[in-house]
Amino acid sequence: MLIINCPYCGPRDQCEFTNGGEAHVTRPKNPENISDQMWAEYVFFRSNPKGIYYERWVHSHGCKKWFNSVRDTSTDEIIKVYKIIDKKPLPKEFKNKIKTPSGEPKVGSGNFTVKK
Partner 1 sequence: MKRKYSIFSILKNAISGHENWQKMWRSPEPKKSYDAVIIGGGGHGLGTAYYLAKEHGLTNIAVIEKGWLGGGNTGRNTTIIRSNYLWDESAGLYEHSLKLWETLTQELNYNVMFSQRGVMNLAHNEHDIKEIKRRVSANTLNGIDSKWVSKEEIQKIVPIMNTDNLRYPVLGASFQPRGGVARHDTVAWGFAMRADEMGVDIIQNCEAHKILIENGKTIGVETSKGIIKSKKIGIVASGHTSILAETAGIRLPLQSKPLQALVSEPIKPVINTVVMSNAIHAYVSQSDKGELVIGAGTDGYNSFTQRGGFDVIEDTIRAMVELYPCFGKMKMLRQWGGIVDICPDASPIISKCDIEGLYFNCGWGTGGFKATPGSANVFAHTVAKDEPHAINAAFNLDRFVTGKLVDEHGAAAVAH
Which residues form the interface with partner 1 (CB under 8 A)? 1-2, 14-15, 18-19, 21, 36-37, 40-41, 43-50, 53, 55, 71, 73-76, 100-104, 109-111, 114
List, in order, residues 6 or more apart from 29 with CB less than 8 Å away: none
- Tell me how far, at minimum, the Cβ of 19 lies from partner 1, in Å: 4
For 5-20, give one letter per residue: b (16+ CB within 10 A) or e.
ebbeeeebeeebbeee
Closest among 24, 26, 29 to 66, alpha carbons compared: 24
Residue 26 vs 37, nearer CB to partner 1: 37
> In degrees, to the nearest 5, what angle opens at C-alpha 102 toward C-alphas 57 and 56?
10
- Tell me how far, at minimum, the Cβ of 104 lies from partner 1, in Å: 7
Q: State phi, psi for 6 to the nearest 5 degrees.
A: -65, 130
- Tell me how far, at minimum, the Cβ of 109 lies from partner 1, in Å: 6
Residue 26 vs 48, nearer CB to partner 1: 48
Residue 89 vs 105, nearer CB to partner 1: 105
